[in-house]
Structure 1
Amino acid sequence: MIATRALSKRYRGGQLAVDGLDLTVPAGSVFGFLGPNGSGKTTTIRVLMGLIEPTSGTASVLGRPVPRSARAVLPHVGALIEGPALYGFLSGRDNLLRYDAADPTADPRTRRARVEAALDRVGLSAAAGKKAKAYSLGMKQRLGLAAALLQPRRLLVLDEPTNGLDPQGMREIRTLVRELASDGTTVFLSSHLLDEIEQVCTHAAVMAQGRLIVQGPVADLAAGARSRLVVTTPDTGDAARILKEQGVTDLVVTETGVTAEPPDREPAELNAALVTAGVRVRGFGIERASLEDAFVALTGEGFDVAG
């Protein structure tokens, strides 16, 4: 659905925002595009949507080159990029009616029905009559998403779609993304929230400082980081000593317990050894590696760094 080859974008003044990007988005996937703020995600999306020209390299969307074929491609793509552009003096409903009227492929006979369906889908039916300037940031995000859903789309491109939403709103958007994917829409989702990507995406790519670090199925990316043995206990010193005697390596002692390299032997045997030695074990288990663990393992840095 999306492919780039050696894609680069350098702005005036020499800033290299995207550096040699090779990206492949499979059809039918929910693809998470990850990276800290300033990593090149939005610049890449703007190239894919034909809003800016790349400095070098190529990009294609739905099998057609962009920006050259943008007019043919974009009617099949819904997008929410850097927040919605709204007419503040119009109601939410009237904004969507204006958006739809500007689409030459939209059927005017079904316009109002489609607008009401889109408003309902993002939970804005009750506020549809309010002027957009009175909307909160989260409501504006919802309205922008509704605009992207006015017609069936083969591809949906969302740039930080949960920006400004409360936890309940974030859950609703995640549910909506899953529903769209189950209906056959490919979703390309840009975010700097690792937990969000891990919960909803089937595939992901990680950007840092304009370069692609890794891409692939989310499960495979997380598997690239090590799981950890986690023992919660107030007797941290004794726990570390017993685990070391049992052949456990790479121990890290914290205020609340001990973490270590997962053992080769049966974990239940280690737990029994701790209890037999009088260690008060309040929690014991193997903690699965997360996407955040994979990112730190790949880059050696936290995810909220500037770049």
Structure 2
Amino acid sequence: MGEASATGPERREDRDPGDGVITTRALTKRYRGGQLAVDGLHLTVPAGSVFGFLGPNGSGKTTTIRMLMGLIEPTSGTAHVLGRPMPRSARAVLPHVGALIEGPALYGFLSGRDNLLRYDSADPTADPRTRRARVAAALDRVGLTAAAGKKAKAYSLGMKQRLGLAAALLQPRRLLVLDEPTNGLDPQGMREIRTLVRELASDGTTVFLSSHLLDEIEQVCSHAAVMAQGRLITQGPVADLAAGARGRLAVTTPDPSDAGRVLKEQGVADVVVAEERVTGEVPERDLAEVNAALVAAGVRVRGFGVERASLEDAFVALTGEGFDVAG
């Protein structure tokens, strides 16, 4: 017999034949008025990966996550989480999933600790005998032990994000879904959350992390997908996505203006001059000839080479659009 769920029994044919922790096929969400928020999404999240779900604000990331978690119904297409269809199997799936979506919902009049105790007591799979110990461990893991007794309404935005993450970590999870988890955090807090994500992944948890920060995805994720205007642009290992874009020629010199002029004469496009560093698109001609031209023009070349393409380079190459790379 299939497992019962909030939306009916699961059928054998509903099982996902793939091996992804998350898979979607032609997943689509159209809101009233015709707004197409997610358009035919085909997504595969490998087990054990830290998967970055990348796109500008308004690209469809949160809508997709809400469909994956069974919070809203898709207009068409399918979504499977842990091999089961959503939202049909939400009751069976969600106990194995920790999630922080659009910021945590907190009781402002309760302390941080009491909020977590309330969250845990609402989980029918949670053992009440270990509740306080698990809450204490979750608070410690996100750096909130000292503020555990403070009312949540007095928490900063970053502290609320940490508390929401602690709620997602109250029990071991097969999958952790985080929607913009570093929102509101200072640089130190962002580094701590990135370290925590890496630790969770090393323990075997698959982490699905949405963000509009390219550097965040590049630093912490093994795989990524790029969304724009509700459509999937590309997906795969982060290293492969970056490798798909051409690197940039970079020249280090105390004569940047002269270097920029010579590079343009040598057919280098998109030349950018910044203090003692000049970059541009890699030309078709022999780079040794370009270097020789710089030296012949009296440019003091202290560094010359092609830099590896970044995820930002890949995004711009794929979409032709700029992006928020630092937040």
Question: TM-score normalized by structure 2?
Answer: 0.87
Deviations 1:120-173 (A, max 9, x none): 000000000100001000000000000000000000000000000000000000
Query: Aligned-pair distance for 1:243?
Result: 5.1
Distance 1:85-1:241 versus aligned 2 partners, 3 A rule: closer
Query: Aligned-pair distance for 1:265?
Result: 5.2
The reply on whether 1:254 has 2:273 as its aligned counterpart is yes
Query: Aligned-pair distance for 1:55?
Result: 0.4
The reply on whether 1:69 has 2:85 as its aligned counterpart is no
Q: Distance in 2 between matches of 1:191 and 1:51?
A: 20
Please list, as runs of the form range in 1=range in 2, the aligned pairs for 1:125-136 lying within 5 A after superposition: 125-136=145-156
Q: Larger deviation: 69-78 or 225-234?
A: 225-234
The one of 231, 240, 246 equivalent to 2:251 is 231
The reply on whether 1:108 has 2:137 as its aligned counterpart is no
The one of 58, 69, 74 equivalent to 1:38 is 58
Q: 2:11 corresponds to which residue? A: none
Q: Distance in 1 between matches of 2:171 and 2:274?
A: 54
Letter in 1 for 2:235: Q
- Stretches of structure 2 that go unaligned for 5 or more consecutive residues are 1-20
Please list, as runs of the form range in 1=range in 2, the aligned pairs for 1:188-267 lying within 5 A after superposition: 188-236=208-256, 238-240=258-260, 249-250=268-269, 252=271, 254=273, 256=275, 257-262=277-282
Bigger RCO (CA 8 Å, 6+ sep): 1
Q: Distance in 1 between matches of 2:257 and 2:141?
A: 54
Q: 2:202 corresponds to which residue? A: 182
CA contact (8 A) 1:251 1:258 kept: no
Q: 2:108 corresponds to which residue? A: 88
Letter in 1 for 2:190: M
Counterpart of 1:254 in 2: which secondary structure?
Answer: strand
Distance 1:208-1:103 versus aligned 2 partners, 3 A rule: same
Q: 1:55 corresponds to which residue? A: 75
Q: Distance in 1 between matches of 2:73 and 2:42?
A: 16
Letter in 1 for 2:197: V
Give the alignment's Cα RMSD to 1 decimal: 2.2
Q: 1:13 corresponds to which residue? A: 33
CA contact (8 A) 1:240 1:251 kept: no
- The percentage of counterpart residues that share the same residue type is 88
Q: Distance in 1 between matches of 2:158 and 2:264?
A: 50
CA contact (8 A) 1:84 1:144 kept: yes
Q: 2:46 corresponds to which residue? A: 26
Letter in 1 for 2:259: A
- Stretches of structure 1 that go unaligned for 5 or more consecutive residues are none
Q: Distance in 1 between matches of 2:144 and 2:272?
A: 49
Query: Aligned-pair distance for 1:280?
Result: 2.6
Q: Distance in 2 between matches of 1:46 and 1:114?
A: 27
Counterpart of 2:299 in 1: which secondary structure?
Answer: coil
Query: Aligned-pair distance for 1:22?
Result: 0.5
Deviations 1:24-81 (A, max 9, x none): 0000000000111011000000000000000000000000000000000000000000
Runs of 4+ in 1 over 4 A off after TM superposition: 240-245, 263-267, 269-273
